[in-house]
Amino acid sequence: MNRYFYKSTISHFAAADQSAILGQMATVNSFDLTPQQRDAWVDQIQCLKLGLAGHDGDIYFEYSIPRMGRRVDTIVLIGPVIFVIEFKVGEKVFNAQDLDQVIDYGLDLSNFHEGSHDKFIIPVLVATEAQDTHTSKEAVLARGRLFKPFKANEKTFSEAIALGLAAAKGPALNCLEWEQSRYKPTPTIIEATLALYRGHSVVEITKNDAGDNLTTTSASVSEIIRTTRDNGEKAVCFVTGVPGAGKTLVGLDIATKHINAEDELYSVYLSGNGPLVAVLQEALARDKVLRTREMGAKIRKGEALSEVKAFVQIIHHFRDEGLHDPINPPIEHVAIFDEAQRAWTRDMTIDFMKRKKNQPSFRMSEPEFLISCMNRHQDWAVVVCLVGGGQEINTGEAGIGEWIESVNRSFPDWKIYVSDQLAEAEFGAEKTEKSLAQHSAVIRLPELHLKTSIRSFRSEKVSSLVKHLLDVEGELARNMVREVSEHYPLVLTRDIHKAKAWLRAQAHGSERYGIVASSKGARLRPLALDVKAKASPVHWFLNGRDDVRSSFFMEDVATEFDVQGLELDWVCVAWDADYRYAGNNWETYEFRAVPNQQAMRWNRIRAVERKSYLKNAYRVLLTRARQGMVVLVPEGSESDVTRKPEYYDKTYEYLAGLGMLKI
């Protein structure tokens, strides 16, 4: 299928009848052609015919950017340049959001379209009725060979093309090779959720090498579901993976395939990650309101939010419904539990049920109760557990082992599907394997493990680097820093102002940046980073540069609890004295009140479980960035006993010794 509505050489386009061009575009358009759209196309055609006169090359109308769920108005290839052109017909000013939109298109091609890698890309914003602007002053590179957006109106459009060609010298593009080259997108979880909800599939939005792994895993889970239904069985299926590998994408892909309640394979996506659910629900609701308005209809925000909540749900609502009706099964035969490793232990669940739900006789762990709800189905049921390695970050989180032990203890007739690649300590491999050995129906499938991170699309090895860094495997970490840094900027500083300036300098268009820190990083407050001041994940991740609550302002800091499962393009990780390098290992601390004194100090954390939680918190923080990261280790202060330089210096020296670039 073509990714454009209309394609031609510039010479044939210039000679073509306007009605014929419109007719071809209208035939391909899957939506009703409104008079406004038709008039906009007419203005664009006229502007392009005049502005491209005398040039040779190819032109593409309505070029699809599936990762963003949008279409570029026009792409023009002339000589060595890819012109990415966005028209705002009738607009008199160059709005910031429109400039972000056109450079986002350019960034998308530069990052994910093989034929556009290392090519000159010039975004052009055409506000047809704007005042004349001097494009020559804007011939500035943004990143690599991508220019900052040119501004033009109908009269100065030809000047923008000429100046762009003057600024970019080199051999002419092969238009056919460019058109036929592969588009290999890597969407954010928010972009992916929007695309999946609109009806796209994982195959369409992740056409890259790691995406092939995702597609295989998703297909394997779908086959397990169909086989379980056909055989009248019950099964729990574990999808495991490194941070950022796309476990949530697999779950959402399964859920969107069977989103209709009348579907026999009706599925529900559940997560105990409150911030993730809130952000995805809000993003889906905003998108639904926007798309409904674009089609000329109206929908209230509350109505849109109510609809999308049926697609992405908080796991506690599912649990509470099971408590309310202890007999009947849920409507869904397939329940997809994201971040299943964070489900509560038996002791944690019993305590909660007694205190909060008036259930004094409750005696199950959260995994056991959730499976019991699905076990009420008389015919068949599937529980899909999406499990991240080393992602338990809070007291009472049970890990993968409790799910398996729950099956062994209470549901011996259930089958267990699991990867054969659970050798890493992050998955509690030794304990997990012992539990699996006690079950008679374990099916191991290698495709149920996602081994490649797609979050950091510039380098798939960021998660491996973080593992070696936290495991104090110095030589392996040093080698990985050298390899990762070739494509993924990784810098180190002791100055928060330099860290913020670096983030602002790296990001272009709507690329999002922000500061993250450990929830126990209590002594970052002198840097105006207060982890106790609760940020709103919805505002932090979704709102724009004009909102002080957004990540862009770098006033609110997000913790591991806010960002787990989500990501930004560029991240500053602020490293406090709670996690200190001590020569050949990490020491863990918590800042709290001194008993019987009017003072607070750092106290050692010695419990193995709590030390693991803090290590995992830093694992989460260090794997949030898609494109690059700055690590901020403060200098401390000799005059502040809670921030002594010695609390920070060894950590900084360790990271610097790994080869991180110092700024």
User: Any idea which of 58-67, 93-102, 439-448, 585-594 has the lowest mean pLDDT?
Assistant: 58-67
pLDDT at 296 over 50: yes
529 vs 516: CA distance, rounded Å: 9
C-alpha to C-alpha distances, 257 to 147, 261, 263, 515, nearest whole angstrom: 39, 11, 9, 36
At 593, list the tokens.
Answer: 């009140």
Q: Which of 318, 257, 660, 299 is nearest to 489 (CA)?
A: 660
Quote the tokens at residue 96. Answer: 């910031």
Contact yes or no for 132/156 (Cβ under 8 A): yes
490-519 average pLDDT score: 97
- Note the pLDDT of residue 235: 97
Q: Where are the domains of the chain?
A: 6-180, 189-450, 462-662
Range of weakest confidence among 79-83, 140-144, 206-210, 377-381:
206-210
With pLDDT > 90 as the criterion, what percentage of the chain qualifies?
Answer: 67
Where residue 211 falls among pLDDT bands split at 50, 70, 90?
Answer: very low
Is the pLDDT at 392 greater than 70? The verdict is no
Residue 423 confidence (pLDDT) above 70: no
Q: Is the pLDDT of residue 207 over 60?
A: no
- What pLDDT, on a 0 to 100 scale, did the predictor assign at position 66? 66
Q: Is the pLDDT assigned to residue 475 strictly greater than 80?
A: yes
Q: What residues does 113 pair with on adjacent strands?
A: 183
- The region of weakest confidence among 191-195, 332-336, 349-353 is 191-195
Q: Taking a C-beta distance cutoff of 8 angstroms, is the pair 387, 428 a contact? A: no
Going 556 to 561 to 567 to 573, the CA torsion angle's sign is: positive
Query: Which stretches of 182-262 are DSSP H helices?
Result: 189-197, 202-205, 209-231, 247-257
Which of 365, 348, 353, 444 lies closest to 405, judged by CA? 365
Determine the longest span between alpha carbons in the chain, in angstroms: 88
In CATH terms, are 189-450 and 462-662 the same topology? yes
Give me the pLDDT at residue 559, please.
97
Q: How far is CA 379 from CA 330, 382, 439, 478, in A?
A: 13, 11, 22, 54
User: Is there a contact between 382 and 234 (Cβ–Cβ < 8 Å)?
Assistant: yes
- Span 245-260, mean pLDDT? 82
Task: For 575-584, write each residue's pLDDT tens digit.
Answer: 999 999 998 8
Nearest to 658 by CA among 476, 436, 531, 478: 478
Distance from C-alpha of 1 to C-alpha of 204, rounded to nearest angstrom = 12
* E strands present in 363-522: 381-388, 415-418, 442-444, 449-450, 490-493, 513-517
pLDDT higher than threshold 60 for residue 210: no
What are the DSSP E strand ranges found in 2-119?
A: 6-9, 57-65, 70-78, 81-88
Q: DSSP 3-state helix, strand, coil percentages of the chain (rounded to 5)?
A: 45, 20, 35
Q: Reduced to 3 states, what is the DSSP secondary structure of residue 334?
A: strand
- Average pLDDT in the 118-133 region? 92
- Inform me whether the pLDDT recorded for 264 exceeds 80: no
* Mean pLDDT on 17-41: 87
Beta-strand ranges (E) seen in 206-338 are: 234-241, 267-271, 312-314, 334-338
Task: Reply yes or no on whether the pLDDT at 540 is more than 80.
Answer: yes
**Residue 274, burial from CB neighbour count under 10 angstroms (0-12, 13-18, 19+):** middle
Of 457 and 234, more confident: 234
pLDDT of 411: 96
Rg (CA), the chain: 27
Distance CA 113, CA 582 (A): 45
What's residue 421's pLDDT?
A: 74
Q: How far is CA 507 from CA 470, 510, 628, in A?
A: 27, 8, 10
What mean pLDDT do residues 304-309 have? 87
What gap in Å lies between CA 357 and CA 659, rounded to an integer? Answer: 52
What's the average model confidence in pLDDT over 610-615? 93
pLDDT score recorded for residue 132: 80
Give the pLDDT confidence of 394-405 residue by residue, as tens digits.
777 777 888 999
Cα–Cα distance measured from residue 197 to residue 211, given in angstroms and rounded to the nearest whole number: 18
Give 594's contacts (C-beta < 8 A, 6+ positions apart).
600, 601
**pLDDT tens string 5-20:** 999 999 999 999 999 9
What value does the mean pLDDT take over residues 54-82? 90
Please give the mean pLDDT across all residues of the chain: 90
Least confident of 200-204, 478-482, 573-577: 200-204
Query: How far is 6 from 13, CA to CA, in rounded Å?
Result: 10
> How high is the pLDDT of residue 106?
95
Q: How many helices (H) and strands (E) does the chain have?
A: 24, 24
Tell me the backbone φ, ψ of residue 604, rounded to 5 degrees.
Answer: -65, 140
Residues whose CB is less than 8 angstroms from the CB of residue 64 and which lie 6 or more positions away in sequence, other chains included: 3, 4, 71
| Per-residue pLDDT at 206 | 64
Across residues 447-470, what is the average pLDDT? 86
| pLDDT for the residue 509 | 93
What is residue 209's predicted lDDT score, i.e. its pLDDT? 46
Mean pLDDT of 405-422: 91
The rounded distance, in Å, linking the Cα atoms of 25 and 47 is: 17
The string of pLDDT tens digits covering residues 147-184 is 999 999 999 999 999 999 999 989 999 999 999 988 87
Helices 35-51 and 18-28: angle between axes, nearest 10 degrees: 130
For 185: left if phi > 0, alpha if psi spans -120 to 50, otherwise beta; the answer is beta
Q: What's the pLDDT at 212?
A: 60
In this prediction, residue 594 has a pLDDT band, given cuts at 50, 70 and 90, of: confident
Among 1.10.1660, 1.10.3470, 3.30.300, 3.40.50, name the CATH number for the domain at 189-450.
Answer: 3.40.50
- The pLDDT value given to residue 120: 97
The CATH fold of domain 462-662: Rossmann fold (3.40.50)
Backbone φ and ψ for 594, nearest 5 degrees, come out as: -85, 125
- Both tokens assigned to 74: 């026009």
